[in-house]
Amino acid sequence: MTDLGKMSRRDATTFVISITTFDDQERLDEEALRGHFRRLAGSGIGVYVGGGGSGEGFTLTPDEARRVLEIASEELKGKVPVRAMGVEPRTARQMIDFSGVVADAGLEAMQIYSLDMGHGNVPRPNELERYLVDILSVVRIPVILSTHMSVGYQLPIDLISGLVSRYDNIIGVNCTNPDLTYLLRLVDKLDDRIEVHVGGPMQALTALAFGASGYLSSEGNLAPRLCVSVVDRYRSGDVSGSHDAYTKVMRIFTMAVQHGGIRFTKAALTLLGLPGGIPRRPQLPVTDPSALGDISAVLDELGIRDIEELADTGHPHRGRAS
C-alpha cells in the first residue's frame, strides 16, 4: 500500500472539543468530568476544553471555567495534547484575561477566537489586525488562531500569514469554512510547522488530502477511538479502513444535527452508561422516547460499544426516557 501520510507535510492529528459535564441539577460535575477526560486520554485523541459550542462555555461562571481547565490539566496533560478553547470574545482584553487563566491552569496552548463585536457588527481589516496584535503582543503561551464562520467573516489569509511570520508562539489555525478554496489557499500559504485543522468532520478527508493536519469534532466525545482511526488509517495508507471509519463518524454527525448537537451527544453517552450528564439551560436534554430509541439504534448499528471497547451494560435506557 502507498503511505498516504507521506503526501501530507504536517503530522496528521485529530482533536475533540470536549463536553462539560453537569449533574441533574445543572451543577458542574467534577467527578464525571474526570471520568470523561480519562476516557478521552485512553483513546489518544487531542482535547480542547471550555469551548462555547460542545463545551457550553457561555453557560460557565468564571470560577467554573477555571475549574474545567484545572481538571483538564490534571487528567490530560502529558497523556494527550490538551488545549483551552474558550468562547468568542467581544474585546482583546477578554482573550488576554483568558490566557492568564490558561497559563495558571498549566494547559499547553489556547485558541484565540476571532472577534465577535456583537449585534451583527463585523470588524474592519485594520480593527481585526489591531485586535489580534493586541493579544499576541501580550500572550506568551502557544496559541492557535481561529477563523470561524460563526462570527460572520473569515480571517484574511494574508493577515494570518503575516502574524505567523511575526509571532513564533502561533502553532496552528483552526479553520471552519464551507469554502474549500479558502482552506486550500490557507494550507498552501502557511509553512509546514503550522498546524491546520478543520472544524467538524465534514471536511476531514478533504483537509488531509490538501495537506492539512486533520479535524476537530464534537463526535470525539462519543466515539474518540473511531475519530482517531480516521486519521490513523489514512496516515498508514489504509484507504478503505479510513473511509469506513469516516462514514461512521459522519453518521454520528448526521444524528447529532438531527437531535440538537450536544443534546444528542449527552443523551448518547447516557445510553452507553458513560459520564456526560445533561445540557445546561437554555439547552434542554433529549427525553422523547422515540428519539432516544433512534439514538440507541444508531449506536448499535454502528457498533460503537465494540469500537470504543465499552462493556455491554444491557442497554437499560433503550427506547425509553431515562
Cell numbers placing 199: 472544524
Count of beta carbons in the 10 Å neighbourhood of residue 125: 12
| The residue type at 129 | E
- Residues 111-153 pLDDT 10s: 999 999 999 899 999 999 999 999 999 999 999 999 999 899 9
- What is the pairing mode between strands 170-176 and 82-84? unpaired
pLDDT in tens, the chain (322 residues): 334 333 445 899 999 999 999 999 999 999 999 999 999 999 999 999 999 999 999 999 999 999 999 999 999 999 999 999 999 999 999 999 999 999 999 999 999 999 999 998 999 999 999 999 999 999 999 999 999 998 999 999 999 999 999 999 999 999 999 999 999 999 999 989 999 999 999 999 999 999 999 999 999 999 999 999 999 999 999 999 999 999 999 999 999 999 999 999 999 999 999 999 999 999 999 999 999 999 999 999 999 999 999 976 444 443 333 2
Cell numbers placing 207: 483537509
How confident is the model at residue 10, as a pLDDT?
A: 82
How confident is the model at residue 221, as a pLDDT?
A: 98
Domain boundaries, the chain: 4-224
- Residues 44-82 pLDDT 10s: 999 999 999 999 999 999 999 999 999 999 999 999 999
Domain 4-224: what homologous superfamily?
A: Aldolase class I (3.20.20.70)
What CA–CA distance (Å, rounded) separates 249 from 188? 27
At residue 56, φ and ψ (nearest 5 deg) are: 50, 40
How confident is the model at residue 90, as a pLDDT?
A: 96
In sequence order, the 6+-apart residues with CB closer than 8 A to the CB of 4 are 208, 234, 235, 236, 237, 239
Q: How buried is 118 (Cβ within 10 angstroms: 0-12 exposed, 13-18 middle, 19+ buried)? A: exposed
What CA–CA distance (Å, rounded) separates 275 from 269? 7
